[in-house]
Amino acid sequence: MTITRKFLAGAMMLVASVVSASAFAEDYSHSTPGISGYDPVAYFTDGKAVRGSGFHVVVADGVTYVFATADHQKLFEANPQKYLPAYGGYCAYGVAIGKKFVADPEVWRIVEGKLYLNLDKNIQQKWEKDTPGYIKKGDANWTTMRDKKPSDL
């Protein structure tokens, strides 16, 4: 094999590896579990945020959720709408003001049977000053925000 052919073969391998690596990165960015890997059922049954396990997994509304136990997985499968977080798991206060902020799974409240997450404890305190008002604003905003990227808001 001549030097030119060796060079071309090496260059092709390099390009192929870069293309496959960027495809992997794109897939990986879309594979983050809902609620950052916390079990959505545990908020209701255990009264606390509990990390899920890769052994108990369900995809709902295009989002992968993981559960701490098989029982939690079964409860979710029987009634996903009961356990899905409001606003796709984004910060409830953020949605109320027209933004999509990543929520902290450890900062949450269940209000009238619905799980709401917030960005941090300071934002949660602000949200709790008028929870019904912020939920009303969030519900109204979510209808137009749901399918938009956070960067488009």
131-152 pLDDT, tens digit each: 999 999 999 999 999 999 998 9
Neighbours of 86 (CB within 10 A): 20
Rounded distance between C-alpha atoms, residue 69 and residue 53, angstroms: 7
| φ, ψ dihedrals at 139, nearest 5° | -60, -45
Domain assignments of the chain as residue spans, ordered by start: 1-31, 32-84, 85-153
pLDDT tens sequence across 87-122: 999 999 999 999 999 999 999 999 999 999 999 999
CA–CA separation, 87 and 137 (whole Å): 12
In degrees to the nearest 10, what's the CA dihedral of 137, 139, 140, 142? Answer: 110
What stretches of the chain show up as alpha helix (H) in DSSP? Answer: 3-29, 42-45, 70-78, 80-83, 92-96, 121-128, 131-145
- Three-state DSSP class for residue 85: strand
| pLDDT tens digits, 36-70 | 999 999 999 999 999 999 899 999 988 999 999 99
**pTM for this entry:** 0.79
